[in-house]
Amino acid sequence: MTAIKVHGFSMAYDDTGGALPPLVLLHGFPLDRTLWAVQVRDLAEVARVIAPDLRGLGESGLPGGAVTLDDYADDARALLDALGIKTAVIAGLSMGGYIAFAFYRKYAHRVRALILADTRAGEDSAEGKRGRDANIALAQTQGVSAVAENMFPKMLTPQTVSQNVTLASATRGMMNRQSVAGVVAALAAMRDRLDATPLLAEITVPTLILVGAEDAVTPPSQAELMRDAIRGSRLVTLAGAAHLSNLDQPAEFNQAVREFLRTVA
């Protein structure tokens, strides 16, 4: 693990280094950079893979005060600055995708291409916002595991859970070990995020959209909306995958990313 000081906290990240084109992987909620362990390992032959822990999650610190999606995007930009990287392919899964939109809104000139995995452009509905508040209260009164256990059934397919016990328990462990403060901050940041739908028509960089065919959190219909609105984008729907499609179908996920990176190079 490597860490740097950005914006008053220590940001942990993996970096495969080298001179290949940079690919930044932004994880989802309530997760950390170990979500990307297989991508960091297998994509290192085609990219310099950089996977940070977002502030408050994984091994990254949490400075005081509320957190916005712009803060996460600013942290990613600060990491690029610290590593001397001008432009990168920005990839995000779910909440990581929301951050990729925030990053593009502020720093489009730093984005070589976008990869949007199991995410959506729209903001939370009124009901969705109430759900965030309920989850904040749940985390504060019963701990992160109460939130994690409610979400876990939607993360991986039932097949993965029954056939890959090691992966299922590692994923559950990743969710359960997050801190209350980091989880509460992320829930509030997602609740208050801007609608990225108007941004879609302004995206001019090559864009790959990935979605698990069985994703019930950010379903294929959301991915199709993004595909229809982002000019020239490509959508890959992964069979046998739920919300964490990179874990359910790592080989197919990585193959789609590899092919996309070849077209971007």
Binding site for ligand MLT (CB under 6 A): 28-29, 94-95, 190, 217, 243
- Find the shortest distance in angstroms from Cβ 143 to ligand MLT: 18
- Find the shortest distance in angstroms from Cβ 2 to ligand MLT: 24
Residue corresponding to tokens 């950079």: 33
- Find the shortest distance in angstroms from Cβ 211 to ligand MLT: 12
Rounded to whole angstroms, how far apart are CA atoms 120 and 138? Answer: 24
- Find the shortest distance in angstroms from Cβ 69 to ligand MLT: 11
Nearer to ligand MLT, 112 or 214 (CB): 214
Rounded to whole angstroms, how far apart are CA atoms 23 and 111? Answer: 10
Q: How many CB atoms lie within 10 A of CB 239?
A: 12
Nearer to ligand MLT, 72 or 104 (CB): 72
- Find the shortest distance in angstroms from Cβ 125 to ligand MLT: 11
Q: Check if the beta carbon of residue 33 is closer than 8 Å to that of residue 12.
A: yes
Nearer to ligand MLT, 112 or 243 (CB): 243
Q: Nearest to residue 51, comparing CAs of 82, 91, 78, 86?
A: 91
Nearer to ligand MLT, 94 or 246 (CB): 94
Residue 222: phi and psi, rounded to 5, are -70, -40
Nearer to ligand MLT, 64 or 127 (CB): 127
Rounded to whole angstroms, how far apart are CA atoms 165 and 132? Answer: 29
